[in-house]
Structure 1
Amino acid sequence: MSPARNQPNECAPERRTIRQDDAIVEASWCYFHEGMNQNEIAARLGVSRATVVNYLAEARRRDYVRVTLDTQIFLNHRLAERLRERFGLQQVLVVPSASDEPDRSYDRVARAAADWLPHLLEPGDRLGVAWGETISRVADAAPRQPIDDLTIVQLVGSRPAAMGFAAETCAAALAARFSANLSNLHVPLLLSDRDLTERLKEEPVVATQLDAVASCNKVIFACGTVDDDSHIRRTGLLTTEELARYRGEGATGVICARLIDANGAPIPTEIEERMIGVTLDQMRGKSLGLLVASGRERVPPSRAAILGGYATHFATCSDTAQTLLGD
């Protein structure tokens, strides 16, 4: 036996990988473009039906395939029309709720908002991105769709947050999906001293980043709750006792770590002068203020955000929409 035949074939694993990649693409094309069923694809590829199922699942996991529904369907939903008329919004998107699975409804709204967002953006836009679980879900679900000359701007300073909900993570994820420029805000959200906060804001690099925050023409955000399990409490910005006190003063929602009452008016907090990030005044008057919300607990804060003039567009589910309308 020759020495060459004794050597392991180092190219074999690579060839197997290439063949499998080709099979995944072929299965996806046959299923989604040619309308073949899984048995037909299995016969064409010479594999089992279970393998075809795995190929299609892998194609979705790799983002080779993205199945979307026409956004116009959800914009024309009767509940969307009623919300638009009731609250004077420009556009409302309502997806059907999975009433027995609130978290599934939450995922549906995040996915629908992610599919809708690129249609609301244009080259040259500066999109301000908030933080938290809702915005994180939208960013993770966003399509890979380059948008020319788009800048993604982090709206609030950094603060430790579980599971990738931090402001810089949300902004970076959306920038990657849209192949956009990224303007981070390289400062803590909350500092220990007011004078230090003011000095840091005056640093040239930070001042430039804050100018980017102020000049966003579009924003995407969620309005958080003020209950004991809220994002603002879990990130340590306010304690349970402090939140209870502000609820007593009328606090209903949270936008970018700042409290609002039931009509959307600001409720100043003790930490206000020590925070670095977008202000409530800067969140108003945008050509796009996309509010994303799902769940009955998000109804009071969402109503507050809409009444306060922070939202021009709203993505939600049918249960949340009906509760907002008082149905």
Structure 2
Amino acid sequence: MREMLDIQKQLVPDLLDIMNKRYTILHHVMLSGLVGRRTLAGTLGMTERVLRGEADFLKAQGLLEVDALGMRITEAGRKLVESFQPLLQETFGLTELEERIRSHYGLKQVIVVPGDSDQSPHAKMELGRAGAGVLRKIAGKDPDVVIAVAGGSTMAHVANHLTSAVPLKGITFVPARGGLGESVELQANTVASTMAKKIGGQYRLLHVPDHLSEEAYQSLMLETGIVEIIQVIRSARIVVHGIGNAMVMARRRKVDQATIDSLMNDGALAEAFGYYFDRQGQVVHKMPTIGLRIEDIQQMETVIGVAGGKSKGEAIAAVLRFRHEDILVTDEAAALEIAEQMKQEV
């Protein structure tokens, strides 16, 4: 199929541009669910006249529905986007980038979606969709697995895109740790319950703060109910988590200035599941948090990291050097930054 595309590009030089433009329209409509022409034109940087012409063409092909409320993708359009995506990734070099990162860090799988999550909400939505696809596939292999999930905006997108044609009633979702004190919809408890409802599974919640003093931590670990849910969390065989910049996450957790100074002195670059990593992937600090421990992560069957944006490239590379990720779902901007980090390791 790739050879045929190369021949067509020689005969019709602007073929790839047209294909990419129409794919982008379909893809954005699919992620949006329902979107108005003016809004979509602004998002894609097109004039309404150009978008109207393309939308009319896609509607005539049975790929879009257009009415007074806006545009929505048809089932035929959805299938076309999903089948065309691998070819598009190969054409724009994302497949080769995936393999370079996978091979360098010894991962089972790397998925790179187009765009930069720092700049484009749609890129972040696509990151969530790709993460949901990976999780759905892995979860479907074991009907009785416990899956631990972290919180954050990227994880919320993963949860929102998770679906299953057949209810997976035996799967239990649990939060990887307590809440950050941020927006309720971004907390691990909410992400876990949303994922469970999306696929017809079960969930358990952990109603404790994420950041605890040592005294509070020791006290809570004496509570029978807390100990029981912690045992369930630590029995998880799959974990899905985001990756953050160390200083950004420290401030989100409202840690004291002394701890921030210590993190900076230790060269903390990345944060994942409550642990802080330096550039070499070494753990330099851990929060006194109730939930998954580093030894639990090391025993997991599948560890899935979902994170994107150019600003997180260095942080993602640092966590990959920890050598306990199995699957990485990221975006093009972050992947290119990771590739730059790989060059410095040689």
Q: Same fold (TM over 0.5)?
A: yes
In the TM superposition, what whole-angstrom CA distance separates every residue of 1:104-126 from its partner, at most 9, and x where no partner exists? Answer: 32222122111222011131111
- Supply the distance in 2 between the matched residues of 1:77 and 1:177 (Cα, whole angstroms): 29
Matched, 1:133 2:147: no
Q: Tell me the alpha carbon deviations over residues 173-197 of structure 1, each in whole angstroms, 9 at most, x when there is no partner.
A: 11111111102113222334x2332
Residue 38 of structure 1 deviates from its aligned partner by 4.3
Q: Distance in 2 between the 1:49 and 1:303 partners?
A: 43
Distance in 1 (CA, whole Å) between partners of 2:216 and 2:234 is 21
Return the offset for 1:144.
4.7
Aligned with residue 103 of structure 2, among 85, 89, 103: 85
Q: CA deviation at 1:152?
A: 0.5
- Where structure 1 has 5 or more consecutive residues not aligned to the other structure, the ranges are 1-35, 42-47
1:210 partnered with 2:230: yes
Helix, strand or coil for the counterpart of 2:300?
coil
C-alpha contact 1:251 1:260 (8 A) present in aligned 2: yes
Aligned equivalent of 2:125, options 96, 103, 107: 107
- 1:85 to 1:118, Cα distance in 2 relative to 1, 3 A: same
Please state if 1:260 is matched with 2:277: yes
Change (3 A) 1:316 1:100: closer
Q: Normalized against structure 1, the TM-score is what? A: 0.73
In structure 2, the residue corresponding to 1:220 is in which secondary structure? Answer: strand
State yes or no: 1:189 paired with 2:210. Answer: yes
Give the total of aligned pairs: 273
Work out the CA distance in 2 between the residues paired with 1:72 and 1:153: 32
Q: Please give the residue correspondences for 1:105-254 in structure 2 after superposition, counting only pairs within 5 Å.
A: 105-121=123-139, 122=141, 123-145=143-165, 146-162=167-183, 164-192=185-213, 194-227=214-247, 230-236=248-254, 238-239=255-256, 242-254=259-271
Q: State the SS of the aligned residue for 2:221.
A: helix
Deviations 1:84-143 (A, max 9, x none): 111100011112225994443222212211122201113111111011121112112222
Residue 288 of structure 1 deviates from its aligned partner by 1.0
Partner SS state of residue 268, structure 1:
strand
Q: Which amino acid is the alignment partner of residue 169 of structure 1?
A: T
Query: Partner of 1:277 in structure 2?
Result: 291
2:109 and 2:326 in contact (8 A); partners too:
yes
Percentage of identical aligned residues: 21
Q: Deviations over 1:259-304 (max 9, x none)?
A: 12223222235xx34x212112222232211111111221122112
Judge conservation of contact 2:176–2:273 (CA < 8 Å) in 1. Answer: yes
Show the counterpart of 1:44.
none
Aligned to 1:315: 329
Q: Is the alpha carbon distance of 1:259 and 1:99 closer, same or farther for their aligned partners in structure 2, counting shifts above 3 Å?
A: closer
Where 1:187 maps in the other structure, the secondary structure is coil
CA apart distance, 1:241: 6.0
Contact 2:314 2:337 in 1 (8 A): no
2:116/2:334 contact within 8 Å kept = no
Identify which of 61, 74, 82 aligns with 1:69: 82
Rg larger in structure: 1
1:152 touches 1:171 (CA, 8 Å); kept in 2? yes
* Structure 1 residue 39 displacement after superposition: 6.6
Determine helix, strand or coil for the equivalent of 1:152. Answer: strand
Q: Given residue 200 of structure 2, which amino acid in structure 1 is its aligned partner?
A: S
- Root-mean-square deviation (CA, aligned residues, Å) is 3.1
Which residue in the other structure is 1:13 paired with? Answer: none
C-alpha displacement of 1:155: 1.0
Name the CA distance, whole Å, in 1 between partners of 2:59 and 2:305: 39
**AA paired with 1:79?**
L
Moved over 3 A (4+): 36-41, 65-68, 70-76, 98-104, 239-242
Distance 1:315 1:220 in 2: 10
SS in 2 for 1:198: helix
In the alignment, the residues of structure 2 paired with residue 112 and residue 163 of structure 1 have an alpha-carbon distance, to the nearest angstrom, of 23
Q: Is the 8 A contact 2:110 2:327 kept in 1?
A: yes
**Contact 1:197–1:276 under 8 Å retained in 2:** yes
Quick one: structure 1 residues 240 and 111, their matched pair in 2 at CA, closer, same or farther if it must change by over 3 Å? Answer: farther
Letter of the structure 1 residue corresponding to residue 132 of structure 2? A
Q: Structure 1 residues 179 and 268, CA, compared in 2 at 3 Å: closer, same or farther?
A: same
1:95 aligned onto 2:108: no
